[in-house]
Amino acid sequence: MIHSFLADLLDHPKVVETQQHMHHSISKHDHLARTARISYKLARLMRADIRICVRAAMIHDIDSRLGTLKTHGRIAATWAAAQGECDEVCHAIETHMYPFGPKPRTKEAWVVSLADKAASLTDLTVMVSGIMTGRTWQRRRQLKQSDPHFVVRQQLRHRRVARYR
C-alpha cells in the first residue's frame, strides 16, 4: 500500500542516488524508506493524511548536505516544491528537524518529525550492532567509495598530500 503513494518518487533519479549516499553510517535511502514506513504507521494511528506523510518522509533529507542541522529541511522542501509537491508535504519536510528548525503546525508535519527521530534511533541501533560484526565498517567503506560527497573530499585530500611530497 505504501508504494502506491511513492511509485513516482522511488524512480526519481534524486531519490535513487540516495542509495549511494551515507547517512548515520548507513545508506540514506534506507533511512528515508524507514522514515516513510514509520510515517505510514504513525499517520494511521494519528489519523493524519497518509499520502502527505509518506511522501514527505521519503524526501525529507534530499540534499541535506547542502545545509546545516537547522537549514537542511528548508533545502529539501524547496526541492520538493520544485518537483510539484503540495504545500503540506513541503511544510512537513521543512519542519522535520524540530526543535532545531521550525515548529510543525499540522498533524502530518508532526508525524514526519516523530518518524524521522524514530528512524534515526533505529539507524543508530543498526550501526552499533553492525560494529560487532564488522558489517557497519564494510558498508561504510562501500558508501564512501560511491558517495559523491566523500569521493570529492577524498580527491581533495589526495591533492593536498601530493603537494607536500
User: Would you write out the chain's pLDDT as a tens digit for each of its 165 residues?
Assistant: 788 899 999 999 999 999 988 887 788 999 999 999 999 999 999 999 999 999 999 999 999 888 888 999 999 999 999 999 999 999 999 999 999 999 999 999 999 999 999 999 998 888 888 877 878 778 778 877 888 877 666 665 655 555 555
What letter does residue 16 receive in the DSSP assignment?
H
Give exposure, 36-62, as e/b (b: 16+ Cβ within 10 Å): bbbbbebbeeeebbbbbbbbbbbbbbb
- Give the residue extent of every domain in the chain: 2-163
Fold of 2-163: Hypothetical protein af1432 (1.10.3210)
pLDDT digits (tens, 9 = 90+) for 21-46: 888 778 899 999 999 999 999 999 99
Whole-model pTM: value is 0.84
pLDDT in the model for residue 138: 82
CB 23 within 8 A of CB 61: yes
